[in-house]
Amino acid sequence: MLQILDSIPAELAGWAAVLAGLGLFALLLARIERRTQARAPKMAEPATPAPEPGFDWHTATATAARDLARASELASIQARAALQIDAVEHAYNRMLAQCATVTDFGLAQPREAAVAPAREPETPARQPLAA
């Protein structure tokens, strides 16, 4: 019986260490939970607010008119891109022809241009928006 009484302080110290470890683990989990909730993204406001009764329609129409004026600019960019594509295709065909004279690997035959070369679009005369 004396041996059992001698082991009680050691068991109590062991259980106290286990309970202290569990308590610290619970505190750590609670702290992590609070941090993740604080970092959670808030609900974002809508990017474009709905028009209000006093909405500035002049600003909206000016933006639309500016975007419409860019249409001719975009057409010219597209025409230049088509010209560059035609030039690259021509260079590719010349390279294939030069390689065909040196090697006999059955390279693809030069392709014909799929579309006629693009021309610069004519810019139409601007007309006022209001009739």
pLDDT for residue 122 is more than 80:
no
* Amino acid 131: pLDDT: 46
Per-residue pLDDT band for 126 (boundaries 50, 70, 90) equals: low
Q: How many helices (H) and strands (E) does the chain have?
A: 3, 0
User: Which tens digit of pLDDT belongs to each residue from 51-109?
Assistant: 666 667 788 888 888 888 888 888 888 999 999 999 999 999 999 888 888 877 665 55
Least confident among 2-11, 40-49, 77-86: 40-49
Residue 114 corresponds to which tokens in the numbers above? 């799929």
Residue 127 corresponds to which tokens in the numbers above? 């007309």
pTM of the complete model: 0.34
In sign, the C-alpha dihedral spanning 99, 100, 105, 107 is positive
Q: 98, 76 in Cβ contact below 8 A?
A: no
C-alpha to C-alpha distance for 75 and 79, rounded to whole angstroms = 6
Q: 121, 72 in Cβ contact below 8 A?
A: yes
Round the average pLDDT of the chain to a whole number and report it: 77
